[in-house]
Structure 1
Amino acid sequence: MASNKKIATLAGLAIALLAGRASAADNGWIDSASVEFGSGSKVRIGRLAVQKNWDAQWFASNGRHLSGYWDLSAAYWRGTAYRNVDGQHQNLAVVGITPVLRYQRDDKLGWYAEGGIGANLFSELYNNSDNRLSTAFQFGDHIGIGYVTANKWDLGLKFQHYSNASIKRPNSGVNLLVASARYQF
């Protein structure tokens, strides 16, 4: 029951973040918002996030450069093999912040590649389908590709890995394939 309260709190936080999006975008605090869906070994996730672009360009050459953004996210995870028992469910809430590096065109349209490593806090310890994480704090890293359209939609696909970097064992890690749709204000 405490997990459901944590999930409800996380969902409320995500809604508040997105509801305040217009005001925050007007003030320059948020540049975009995204919705993501992913899956791994007997786990599905849904995530809402807001982003803030960095005002920096590195290694600019031939109309491309390296830049990045901050990503603040709230996610819901649903495992279907809690404690390695098929049909037993584990519901988790996860909040995270990730600095992301992106190699893209100077006009920020078309194809890009990106990668990031961030900090995440789980509502409880993950124990699903032979994967166990022994700490609520986890690093989340990803590599991905995507395409930004002329009408400000950013469609991406990324491989995501969660692990506590062996701070405490067991630490089998969790791998996910995640699809995202992001709208830039």
Structure 2
Amino acid sequence: MAVAQTSTGSGEPNFWQAGQGEGWGARLGYHDDYRRLGLVYETAPLWSHQSSGEWGRVTLTAELGVAYWDAQHGHPDSLWQVSATPMLRWWPNEFFYTEIGVGVNAFSRTSFADKGLGSAFQFGNHIGVGALIADAHRIGLRYSHFSNAGIKKPNDGLDVLQLTYTYQF
């Protein structure tokens, strides 16, 4: 399927893009002290709004994921994570997007890479940019911060810069 832009009949653009359905994604994260490798299932848009002007479109999807973290230094040197995150994406055109999301996470440990997480329950805050590279293939760059928002001490948190890939069908 190809990317296309059609008119609504009123002369206003109506962005339609291949791969607006559900999909699978891979997330490869990096920090000086640790790495993160994740697999994500993304739902089809739960909500979408097409602007009447040239502001593009906004979509809301849900990401459900599992990730493995591996520390280069510090103890413990690994942990697992499961996550559920609503992601809001703004598509100013049919190729590029920005995204933001806040979700809930469960970690297999309360410490990792010499950091005290305080609790297995963590919030995940995400902000990123990306592009549709071919049909239903997206790549992006995302910054994520995980912490328990001060619910329990310590609350060192984890930060990671991620390369994202998503295939939607």
Would you say same fold, with TM above 0.5?
yes
Q: Residues 27-176 of structure 1 correspond to what in structure 2 (within 5 A)?
A: 31-58=22-49, 60=51, 61-62=53-54, 64-83=56-75, 90-105=77-92, 109-129=94-114, 131-176=115-160
Quick one: which amino acid aligns to residue 180 of structure 1? T
Aligned to 1:24: none
* Structure 1 unaligned residues grouped into runs of 5+: 1-29, 84-88
Distance (whole Å) between structure 1 residues aligned to residue 42 and residue 130 of structure 2: 16
Distance 1:132 1:55 in 2: 35
The count of residues paired between Structure 1 and Structure 2 equals: 148
TM-score by length of 2: 0.81
TM-score (ref. length: structure 1): 0.74
- 1:92-149 deviations in Å (ceiling 9; x for gaps): 110000000000146xx311000000000001112324x3201000001110000012
Q: Distance in 2 between matches of 1:56 and 1:120?
A: 23
Give yes or no for contact 2:47–2:61 (8 Å, CA) kept in 1: no
Identity of matched residues, %: 31
d(CA) in 2 for partners of 1:93, 1:111: 31
Aligned to 2:6: none
Q: Deviations over 1:26-59 (max 9, x none)?
A: xxxx711001111113110100011002243336
Supply the AA of the counterpart residue of 1:104. Answer: W
Q: Give ranges in structure 2 of 5+ residues lacking alignment.
A: 1-20
Identify which range, 42-51 or 73-82, moves more after superposition.
73-82
Greater share of residues in helix: 1
The one-letter amino acid paired with 1:42 is D
Amino acid at match of 2:139: L
SS in 2 for 1:149: strand
Tell me how large the CA RMSD over aligned residues is: 1.7
Deviating above 4 A after TM superposition, structure 1's stretches of 4 or more consecutive aligned residues are none
Q: Distance in 1 between matches of 2:49 and 2:144?
A: 25
